[in-house]
Amino acid sequence: MSPAVARTSRAHIVAAARWILEADGLDAVTMQSVALRVGVRAPSLYKHVRDRAALLAAIADAALDELAEMMTPLAREPDAAAGMRAVATAFRDFAQAQPRTYGILFMDLPQDARGSLDRFAAAAAPVLELAERMVGPELALETARLVTAFAHGFISLELAGAFRLGGDVDAAFHHGIGVLLDGIAAASSPTALAMPRRPGQPARPTGRAPGPLRTGRPPRG
């Protein structure tokens, strides 16, 4: 008589799918395997999730929320460059802790993925803020994209096993960040090239940011 009471929930389902993803890989995330883990039959999942693609998107959304939560406090670091380094490192730690979940974050976003784009924006906000403090508003977006691209690219190649040809991968990551931040600082204030920063001196040019600058990119050939 009593209408069936919910034996699971969307959050429960997403968590189960994520667990299976991390444990056994993307192909193992099956409506059946998820249902089994949740104590229900596969068709029931469709009461909580539109389809498998939406389930995977929900995993990505949850992970992006956690990422944003990890990133936000790091933006409060007084030294913007140090904050940027911390953000990049935290990003990599996150990816290494749950590589398969990470591998799902940047899959083709459907053209209508409003929610996901908002989450991207939220996760990217701390990077953007730190970038603005480093180079000013004019170059902030490009700088944030530079750091993000490096971090994501490095992590992605590392997880794919493209760095198996030798060398210290950890050292390469930190070296990369160091070079990146030096280049960024140089691009924001060309005078810093001639006057290397003293220990006490902040990386950020004190007041408002300089206007857009030519970065040392010579005209091609």
Partner DNA sequence: ACCTGAACACCGTTCAAGT
Per the structure block, which two tokens stand in for 177? 């960040």
CB 101 within 8 A of CB 63: yes
* Residue nearer to DNA on the CB measure, 42 or 117: 42
Nearest distance, CB of residue 208 and a copy of itself, angstroms:
20
> Residue 11: exposed, middle, or buried by beta-carbon count in 10 A (0-12, 13-18, 19+)?
exposed
Q: How far is the CB of 24 from DNA (least distance, A)?
A: 11
8 touches DNA (CB under 7 A): yes
Where helices occur in the chain by DSSP H, the ranges are 10-24, 31-38, 52-74, 80-97, 99-105, 114-135, 137-160, 169-188, 191-194
**Which pair of tokens denotes residue 156?**
């992605």
210 forms part of the interface with a copy of itself (CB under 8 A): no
Query: Contacts for 107-113 with beta carbons within 8 Å, 24 or more apart?
Result: 107/56, 107/60, 113/57
The pairs formed by 206-215 with CB atoms below 8 angstroms and a separation of 24 or more are 208/136, 209/132, 209/135, 209/136, 209/137, 209/138, 209/139, 210/136, 210/138, 211/138, 212/138, 212/139, 213/139, 213/187, 213/188, 215/187
Q: Which of 8, 101, 143, 189 binds a copy of itself (CB under 8 A)?
A: 143
Of 97 and 193, nearer to a copy of itself (C-beta) is 193
Examine residue 6 and tell whether it contacts a copy of itself (CB under 8 A).
no
CA–CA distance, 51 with 56 (Å, rounded to integer):
9
Smallest separation, CB 68 to DNA (Å)? 28
- Is position 106 an interface residue for DNA (rule: CB under 7 A)? no
Closer to a copy of itself by Cβ: residue 39 or 202: 202
Cβ closest to DNA, residue 48 vs residue 133: 48
- Nearest C-alpha neighbor of 60 from the set 109, 97, 4, 27: 109
List the single partner that 60 binds among DNA, a copy of itself, none, CB under 5 to 8 Å by kind: none
Subset of residues 27 to 56 that bind DNA, contact rule: CB under 7 A: 29-33, 35, 40-44, 46-48, 51-53
Q: Which does 211 bind (CB under 5 to 8 A by kind): a copy of itself, DNA, none?
A: none
Task: Give yes or no for residue 138 binding a copy of itself (CB under 8 A).
Answer: no
Where on the chain is the footprint of DNA (CB under 7 A)? 1-8, 29-33, 35, 40-44, 46-48, 51-53
Where on the chain is the footprint of a copy of itself (CB under 8 A)? 82, 85-86, 103, 106-109, 111, 113, 117, 120-121, 139, 141-143, 145-146, 148-154, 156-157, 159-167, 171-172, 174-184, 186-187, 193-194, 196, 199, 215-218, 220-221
